[in-house]
Amino acid sequence: MDSIIIEGIAFSIPLFIIAIGGIYSEGSGVINLALEGLLGFGAFAGGLSYALLSSVITGNPLLLIYASLAFAMVGGALLASLHALMCIKFKANQVISGVVINMLSVALTAFLANQINASVFGQPSNKFLLEIFPKVTVPLLSRIPILGAVFTDLYTFIPIIVAVAILMAYIYYKTPFGMHIRACGDNPHAVAAAGGNVMKIRFVSVLVSGALAGLGGMCFAYSISTTFSPNIYMGFGYLAIAAYIFGSWKISRTFLACILFGFARSAGYVLVQKLELPSSFGDLVLTLPYIVTLVLLLFFSSKTKAPRALGDVYE
């Protein structure tokens, strides 16, 4: 039971921050299928910064780890700026741009990781090794029955992400800027009439989306494999898209969707282990979030409310 909660949290929370990134972008009216590529590129930037800085900063692994998270956000935002440029300035089709950004991200990280490993570190590899992310067990809270597992063996990135997520939710719902973002997604012309700069607001939203996806991607790189490798492109970006559609573009409901996905995944894995089934049954478990989302959409697609101007090119 404990392992279900521990694993579930470690998976859902990074997924949640990526999904918030998606909500920011789509909330402002820019379809973001590029999340997969953004999280991969963010993880690449973080892994690269870790590999490069580890010779400069010695003796302080914690600083190194947190710096790599920051660089991952920068990397994600960098690639997101290309998506924003294509969608907003060049008026490319947003779905196609997203797909192309994903492909570019896979190709670019594979090429750069190989090239940098060969020319800077002198070894043929497409990976960057990382440190194991520090874990804490909160002294008193972890002794609460059942719920205590939430505070046991907690990756320290979890509180960081939760803090960022709360901040992002606050900005999105409670500040004028957040309202502008949501207005751009529903009626960009009204924003323009009220004196807002639609293109600028959308651009910033997509950048934020990239930064958050990069952060989530880096946490996945730490928690799942403690390396950056091309295996990071496992479809978590698409899963995040499923999560915010499931949560009908609302941050609170998306949180529940992410928790559901994460726990379904970890519970399924534990079940497969307990029943001593072959590990291939894990694949069936992995389909659960997608099937649930599909069935949900089947019944509630008329009720889920996407931003009204989603995908519209604003001129």
Partner 1 sequence: MLKKPNLIKRIFVYCCGPGKHQLLRVSLFCIFLSLLAGTVLLLLLGKNPLEAYRSILQGAGILPKTRYAGKKSQLTDFMSLLNYTTPMIFAALSVAVALKSGIFNICVSGIMVFSGFLATVLVGYSSLAPMIAKPLVILIGIVAGGLIGVLIGYLRHRFNMNEVVVAIMLNYIISYVVSFFIQTKFVDPITRQSVEVGQNARLTLFDYPIMNLKMEINLVFPLALITVFSIRYFINRTRFGFELKAVGLNSKASNYAGINVGKTMVTTMLISGALAGLAGVSYYLGSNASIQPRVLPSLGFDSIAVALLGNTTAIGCFFASLLVMVFDSGTTYMSSRMQVLREIAALITSILLLFSAIGIFFRALANRYAREAEEV
Minimum CB distance to partner 1, residue 94 (Å): 10
- 172 neighbors 178 (Cβ within 8 angstroms): yes
Residue (45 or 169) nearer to partner 1, CB: 45
Radius of gyration for the alpha carbons in the chain, expressed in angstroms and rounded: 20
Among the candidate windows 11-19, 137-145, 248-256, 298-306, which touches partner 1 by CB under 8 A? 298-306
Cα–Cα distance for residue pair 222/141, rounded to 1 Å: 25
Residue (6 or 260) nearer to partner 1, CB: 260
Residue 68 has what DSSP assignment? H
Q: Looking only at residues 196 through 255 of this chain, which bind partner 1 when binding is defined by CB under 8 A?
A: 235, 238-239, 241-242, 245
Minimum CB distance to partner 1, residue 287 (Å): 5
Q: Looking only at residues 58 through 117 of this chain, which bind partner 1 when binding is defined by CB under 8 A?
A: 86, 90-93, 95-97, 99-100, 102-104, 106-108, 110-111, 114-115
Is 297 an interacting residue with respect to partner 1 (CB under 8 A)?
yes
Position of tokens 């807002």?
196
Residue 141 has what DSSP assignment? G
Q: Per DSSP, what are the bridge partners of residue 128?
A: 228
Cα–Cα distance for residue pair 115/170, rounded to 1 Å: 41
Position of tokens 């990382």?
130
Cα–Cα distance for residue pair 30/23, rounded to 1 Å: 10
Q: Which residues form the interface with partner 1 (CB under 8 A)?
A: 33, 86, 90-93, 95-97, 99-100, 102-104, 106-108, 110-111, 114-115, 118, 235, 238-239, 241-242, 245, 278-281, 283-284, 286-287, 290-291, 293-294, 297-298, 301-302, 306
